[in-house]
Amino acid sequence: IQAAYRGHRMRRRNNAKQQQEVKPTIEYECFEPERPKSTNEMYTEENKTLEVVDVPNRFKVLKSKRAQLESDRTVLVHRLQQLNAEISLRRREEKDLWKKKYIVEKNTALSLTHTSDIQRERAIFRLNDATKCNDRKQNSKLHVIS
C-alpha cells in the first residue's frame, strides 16, 4: 500500500510539473515567436543525436555536398566570365560605332566647310564677272555716245 501511495504521489507531482512547464511555454508562444537557434546550438544538437557509427556516413554526405558546391561554383564562374566577355564585346562594338559616326560627322563638317569655301569663291567670281560686265556695258555705252 505504501509503495502504491508513493507511486501515486510521484505521478501527481510529475503531472503538476508538466502542467506548470507546459503553461508558460504556451503563453510564451502565443505572445512572442520562438527565437531562431544559432548555428552553434544546431550543431551541438546534431552532434548529441549522432552516434559514432553515423560519422562516416555524415562525412560522405558532407563530401558529396562539397563536391556539388564546387561544381556549382565552377559553373557560375564560367557563366560570369561569359557574361563579362559579352559585355566587353558590346562595349567595344559601341565604341567602334561611336568612332565611325564621329569620323563621318567630322568629314561631313570638313566637306561642308570646303564646299562653302568653294561656293563663296564662285560667288565672288560671279560678282566680279557681273561687275566687270556692267563696267564694260557702261564703257561701251559711253563709247557709243561719245
Mean residue pLDDT of the chain comes to: 75
Q: Is residue 9 part of a domain?
A: yes
Structural domains in the chain (count): 1
Single-letter amino acid, residue 40: N
Q: Encode pLDDT of 105-144 as tens digits.
A: 887 776 667 777 777 788 877 777 777 777 777 766 655 5
pTM over 0.85: no
Longest dimension (CA), the chain: 171
pLDDT at 119: 77
Range of the domain at 6: 1-33
Q: Is residue 49 part of a domain?
A: no
More reliable by pLDDT, 145 or 121 = 121
Which of the given ranges, 6-10, 19-23, 31-35, 70-74, has the highest pLDDT on average?
70-74
Contact 50, 58 (CB under 8 A): yes
